[in-house]
Structure 1
Amino acid sequence: MKAAPEPLAFEPEYIQALTRIFEEDIVFNRTLGLKITSIAADTVTGSIQMRHELVGHPSYNRIHGGVISAALDALGGIAVLAAIGARHMDESIEARLHRFAKLGTIDLRVDYLRPGIGEHFSLRAEVMRLGSRVASTRMEFLGSDGRLLSTGSAAYIVS
């Protein structure tokens, strides 16, 4: 019986660079307070802390739907970049990161299932298919109790 293959491990420098790009260089993500909590070849997780600036409904202190949509889109995009990086491990870190310049959202769908009320939220993005020109993702936006609040799916141009 064959042993299961070792999970792909990115270089720490690649993880640090992806995190820096996502959290610091993309100013909008920094404004939203998006943080990456883990990066794997086909899945990325993140978090966002609720702040007054993110309120969409003041009576309920509910997070704005646009924040949810933007966070899901951003996390889906970085998951695609991680998948591209995994596919091209033979390239330098700089070459893999340069592929980010070609990434763009083609289509985004968000379903709001429950009100976004809480102190912090978790996000998860999974790459469903990485083609030579288009990548497809599925994303989740979860409350601090782990309840699914919103789902998303997106297509990204990768070439």
Structure 2
Amino acid sequence: MRTPPPIPAEFEPEFIAGLKAIFEEKIVFNQVLGLKITSLLPERVTARIDMKPQLVGHYSYNRIHGGVISAGLDAMGGLACMAAIGARHMDESPDQRLHRFAKLGTIDLRIDYLRPGIGEFFELRAEVMRLGSRVASTRMEFLGPDGKLLSCGSGAYIVS
């Protein structure tokens, strides 16, 4: 039985640049949301969304739309899967690992809205709880500017 390689402390700059390009540029909907990666580690990914008028769900309170929260957390779950897959296959080149994401897709998504999403910006976090050969399970968080948890979610993703 083969022992899996240890999880690296960090990724190579080429892998990070490639993953950011996929996530922030090639997935155009992430541009609409304004999702920007702030940290990309094998065990956890974080991003930020700055509030803008196009994201308002309730005009009286300037509250972010629940669909933005859901879509943002879904995207972060996928990004966490990409990071975990990238860490699992460190024996491959960054380009080879980036090509593994073509089949990644959401199977199931659950979001719990805990508090109103009001603020100038929001932080999103995600981590993979289990990475199998075909399916990955994730946990995600959506936080306000003060660090309070506003929403949380869990997702399942097809990874092969």
Shorter-normalised TM range: over 0.9
1:22 offset after TM fit, Å?
0.7
Paired position in structure 1 for 2:157: 156
The amino acid of 2:14's aligned partner reads E
How high is the sequence identity, in percent, across the aligned residues?
75
1:6 offset after TM fit, Å?
8.3
TM-score, normalised via structure 2 length: 0.94
Is 1:74 aligned to residue 80 of structure 2? no
1:42 offset after TM fit, Å?
1.9
Question: In the TM superposition, what are the counterparts of 1:17-32 in structure 2 within 5 Å?
Answer: 17-32=18-33
Paired position in structure 2 for 1:131: 132
Paired position in structure 2 for 1:61: 62
Which structure 2 residue ranges, 5 or more long, are not aligned? Answer: 1-5
Instruction: Tell which deviates more after alignment, 120-129 or 93-102.
Output: 93-102
Aligned equivalents of 1:60, 1:106: Cα separation in 2: 33
Could you list the runs of 4 or more consecutive aligned residues of structure 1 that deviate by over 6 angstroms after TM superposition? Answer: none
Paired position in structure 2 for 1:147: 148
1:7 offset after TM fit, Å?
4.7
Instruction: Tell which deviates more after alignment, 129-138 or 89-98.
Output: 89-98
What per-residue deviation string (whole Å, max 9, x for no partner) do you get for residues 114-158 of structure 1? 000000000100110000000000000000000000000000000
TM-score, normalised via structure 1 length: 0.95
Is 1:11 aligned to residue 21 of structure 2? no
The amino acid of 2:119's aligned partner reads G
Question: In the TM superposition, what are the counterparts of 1:41-56 in structure 2 within 5 Å?
Answer: 41-56=42-57
Aligned equivalents of 1:20, 1:6: Cα separation in 2: 23
The amino acid of 1:13's aligned partner reads E
Secondary structure of the equivalent of 1:47?
A: strand
- The 8 Å contact of residues 8 and 86 in structure 1, kept in 2 or not, is answered as no
Which structure 1 residue ranges, 5 or more long, are not aligned? Answer: none
Paired position in structure 1 for 2:38: 37
Aligned equivalents of 1:115, 1:145: Cα separation in 2: 13
